[in-house]
């Protein structure tokens, strides 16, 4: 069992996935930024700023949450420290305007309340939705799409 003890840089709850800052403080993770998605493990103890907390980075964690045995769990965008299965993380991303997120494996559910912590490396996942900015909100007619190289694609000829 691999346990690491670090000082909290923010309030951390037991069960949060955490990352370590460049000054060695632990913070709840988020999938929005690569450094904050590069997790150290799952907090065994909760604590306030400055408290010493224990982090499980390679063993079974007994959780109060409920999981489906066998499913992989990944760092989520919100709330900080949360992790969910891939479908929940990806579908949550599609509902946002974020360009993408860093998907990082936290571990695998081995029972309905136990996780085998298996920290992975973050991989950028592009948001599958596209957003068009229109000139006017009163007329949502799209005549053409302007590409990065300056050329346009007329929508009636694209059909």
> What tens digit of pLDDT does each residue of 67-120 get?
999 999 999 988 999 999 999 998 888 777 788 899 999 999 999 999 999 999
pTM: 0.78
Helix (H) or strand (E) holding 103: strand 100-103
pLDDT range class, residue 123, cuts 50, 70, 90: very high
Q: Is 47 a domain residue?
A: yes
Q: Is 97 a domain residue?
A: yes
Is 137's pLDDT higher than 70? no
Q: Is 139 a domain residue?
A: no
Q: Is 153 a domain residue?
A: no
Is 131's pLDDT higher than 60? no
Q: Rounded distance, CA 74 to CA 85, Å?
A: 6
Q: Is 17 a domain residue?
A: yes
Q: Which domain holds residue 102?
A: 3-126
Q: Is 14 a domain residue?
A: yes
How many domains would you assign to the chain?
Answer: 1
Q: Is 157 a domain residue?
A: no
Nearest to 3 by CA among 40, 29, 34: 40
**Mean predicted confidence (pLDDT) in 3-31:** 97
40 neighbors 22 (Cβ within 8 angstroms): no
Tokens of 104: 């990082």
Q: Is 57 a domain residue?
A: yes
Is 25's pLDDT higher than 70? yes
């Amino acid at each position: 069992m691999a346990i690491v003890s670090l000082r909290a840089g923010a309030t951390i709850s037991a069960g949060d996935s955490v990352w370590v800052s460049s000054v060695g403080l632990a913070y709840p993770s988020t999938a929005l930024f690569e450094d904050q998605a590069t997790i150290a493990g799952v907090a065994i103890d909760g604590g306030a700023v400055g408290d010493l907390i224990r982090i499980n980075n390679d063993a079974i964690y007994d959780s109060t949450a409920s999981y489906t045995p066998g499913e992989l769990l990944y760092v989520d965008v919100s709330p900080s420290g949360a992790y969910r299965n891939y479908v929940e993380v990806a579908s949550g991303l599609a509902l946002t305007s974020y360009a993408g997120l860093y998907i990082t494996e936290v571990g695998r559910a081995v029972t309905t309340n136990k996780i085998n912590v298996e920290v992975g490396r973050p991989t950028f996942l592009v948001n599958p939705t596209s957003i068009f900015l229109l000139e006017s909100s009163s007329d949502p007619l799209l005549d053409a799409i302007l590409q990065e190289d300056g050329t346009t694609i007329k929508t009636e000829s694209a059909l």
